[in-house]
């Protein structure tokens, strides 16, 4: 996906937008390599949320006063920004949720499932794209059909084709693994599923950050992603759904705003997207997400992708040179997400020793236990890069790993 960098990239200028990157950890400059878990926030996001609270804030919709109208405008303008960002054909196809997890839960809870209906998912899904489907298995008798991957996270399209049948009610697959960094061939997945009449949900929580998106061109039915990995705030995510797919989905939660008429004997629901936004929505978070998306789209995305490609290649090469490190996932087009194991050391111990040197990585099962089982490990360490990471931070990771190895062996 990311070609090596060709144009110069002023990473320092970009880093200046992120106040937290100026802090120290354990008496050393912070080297933040936990971006796949959550990314840091640029000043414009912090400012947009705080300015809203200082200058124009009220509850949204149905307001008959200035602040309510201004806030509604800001909230709905965030929906427009998201729609443009992912290439949706209308803002009404964008549902604000509290995160990527809730976006997937809305779809799983809203589709019609009869006993024996099938859901196809891959073994490298995040638990957010597994457990909502397990609910359907437990509660409605759905059958989960699992698509295997190779060691690098590539899927076999013929195997996918063979798994989809007349009873497939959803093909739910990640657009980029949060562990292996492997992107999935979304256009092929959609083509194969649609040829058999099955809808597709892509979990784009990682991919939305690491590449450009056009959900309309992809022809995908549902696309889920989360704000906090995209330099935005926590507490907000997005469910994109084709208009006709959202219209066919039963509402997830009941409450204010998602209704048209409520009487003692009946209830009529509002149209999407509001049908899926019961209660007071994440107003400030939507304003923050808009600021993040506007900031991100104002950057030269091609240069950022190339920079992330350079970071990934440098890290993969340096880690690959260490015969006591095992890399998990070597797809050449992978995102800058690198899972690895250190021989003879538990990933948690590795992460703690790296932290003492100011280097933040994640260790554990990464909410992907079926993938851990597939890889034959219980946990891994994971370094994940963002647009603001520098090449010398790769070197800091390697140096810190050498120290960890000495201490742990």
Residues in region 137-176 near ligand PLP by CB under 6 A = 174
Q: Which stretch binds ligand PLP (CB under 6 A): 62-70, 122-130, 313-321, 349-357?
A: 122-130
Sequence-ordered list of residues with C-beta below 8 angstroms from that of 42, at least 6 positions apart, any chain: 17, 18, 231, 291, 292, 295
What is the C-alpha separation between 199 and 216, in angstroms, rounded?
A: 14
33 Cβ contact list (under 8 Å, min separation 6): 359, 360, 361, 383, 384, 385, 389, 393, 397
Q: Would you give the binding string for ligand PLP spanning residues 79-118, x where CB under 6 A is met?
A: --------------------xxx-----------------
Applying CB under 6 A, among 2, 128, 310, 357 the residue interacting with ligand PLP is 128
**Residue 38 beta carbon to ligand PLP: minimum distance, rounded to whole angstroms:** 8
Whichever of 128 and 380 has its CB closer to ligand PLP, that residue is: 128
**Pairing status of strand 222-226 against strand 200-203:** parallel
Active site residues: 367
Q: For tokens 């935005």, what's the residue?
A: 232
| Tokens found for residue 101 | 């997890």
* Contact between 294 and 81 (Cβ < 8 Å): yes
Q: Which listed residue (1, 205, 249, 359) binds ligand PLP by CB under 6 A?
A: 205
Burial 335-363 (b: 16+ CB within 10 A, else e): bbbbbbbbeebebeebbebbeebbbbbbb
Which residue bears the tokens 């604000």? 96
Q: Is 284 in the site for ligand PLP (CB under 6 A)?
A: no
Phi-psi region of 329 (alpha: psi -120 to 50; beta: other; left: phi over 0): left
Nearer to ligand PLP, 48 or 202 (CB): 202
CB of 68 to ligand PLP, least distance (A): 29
Closer residue to ligand PLP, CB minimum distance, 387 or 396: 387
Instruction: Work out how close the CB of 210 gets to ligand PLP at its nearest, in angstroms, rounded to a whole number.
Output: 11
Residues forming a β-bridge with 259: 269
Residue 200: φ, ψ to 5°: -125, 135
- Binding-site string for ligand PLP from residue 307 to residue 346, where x marks contact by CB under 6 A and - marks none: ----------------------------------------
What's the distance, Cα to Cα, between the start and end of the chain in Å? 37
3-class SS of residue 63: coil
Looking from the CA of 256 toward its CB, the CA atoms found within 13 Å total: 7
* Residue 267 to residue 82: CA distance in whole angstroms: 30
Q: Which stretch binds ligand PLP (CB under 6 A): 125-133, 306-314, 345-353, 389-397?
A: 125-133
DSSP state of 93: G
Number of residues that bind ligand PLP (CB under 6 A): 14
- Cβ at position 174, least distance to ligand PLP in Å: 5
Name residues contacting ligand PLP, limited to 229-258 (CB under 6 A). 237
203 binding ligand PLP? (CB under 6 A): yes
Of 122, 206, 310, 357, the one binding ligand PLP (CB under 6 A) is 206
Q: Which is nearer to ligand PLP, 51 or 234 (CB)?
A: 234
- 127/365 Cα distance (integer angstroms): 10
Measured from the CB of residue 197, what is the shortest distance to ligand PLP in angstroms?
26
Least distance from C-beta 395 to ligand PLP, angstroms?
26
Nearer to ligand PLP, 108 or 396 (CB): 108
Binding site for ligand PLP (CB under 6 A): 99-101, 126, 128-129, 174, 178, 203, 205-206, 226, 228, 237
């Amino acid at each position: 996906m990311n070609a090596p960098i060709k144009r110069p990239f002023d990473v320092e200028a970009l880093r200046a937008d992120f106040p937290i990157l100026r802090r120290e950890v354990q008496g050393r400059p912070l080297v933040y390599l936990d971006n796949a878990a959550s990314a840091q926030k640029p000043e414009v996001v912090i400012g947009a949320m705080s300015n809203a609270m200082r200058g124009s804030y009220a509850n949204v919709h149905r307001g008959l006063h200035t602040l309510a109208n201004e806030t509604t405008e800001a909230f709905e303008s965030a929906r427009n920004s998201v729609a443009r960002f992912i290439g949706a054909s209308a803002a009404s196809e964008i549902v604000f949720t509290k995160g990527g997890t809730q976006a997937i839960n809305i779809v799983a809870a809203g589709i019609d499932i009869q006993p024996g209906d099938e859901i196809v998912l891959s073994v490298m899904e995040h638990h957010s794209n597994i457990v909502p489907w397990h609910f359907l298995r437990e509660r409605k008798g759905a059958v989960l059909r699992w698509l295997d991957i190779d060691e690098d996270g590539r899927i076999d399209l013929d195997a996918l084709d063979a798994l989809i049948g007349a009873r497939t009610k959803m093909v739910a697959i990640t657009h980029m693994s949060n562990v292996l960094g492997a992107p999935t061939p979304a256009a092929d997945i959609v083509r194969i599923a649609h040829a058999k009449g099955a809808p597709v949900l892509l979990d784009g929580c990682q991919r939305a950050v690491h590449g450009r998106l056009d959900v309309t061109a992809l022809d995908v039915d549902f696309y889920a992603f989360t704000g906090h990995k995209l330099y935005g705030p926590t507490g907000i995510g997005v469910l994109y759904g084709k208009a006709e797919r959202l219209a066919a989905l039963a509402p997830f939660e009941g409450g204010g705003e998602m209704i048209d008429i409520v009487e003692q004997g009946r209830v009529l629901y509002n149209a999407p997207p509001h049908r899926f936004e019961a209660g007071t929505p994440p107003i400030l978070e939507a304003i923050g997400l808009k600021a993040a998306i506007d900031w991100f789209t104002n950057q030269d995305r091609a240069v950022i992708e190339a920079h992330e490609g350079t970071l990934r290649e440098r890290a993969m090469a340096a880690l690959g040179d260490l015969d006591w490190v095992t890399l998990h996932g070597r797809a050449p087009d992978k995102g800058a997400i690198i899972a690895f194991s250190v021989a003879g050391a538990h990933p948690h111990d590795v992460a703690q020793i790296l932290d003492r040197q100011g280097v933040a990585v994640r260790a554990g099962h990464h909410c992907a236990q079926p993938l851990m089982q597939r890889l034959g490990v219980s946990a891994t360490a994971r370094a994940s890069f963002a647009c603001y990471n520098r090449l010398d931070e790769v070197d800091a990771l390697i140096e810190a790993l050498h120290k960890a190895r000495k201490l742990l062996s």
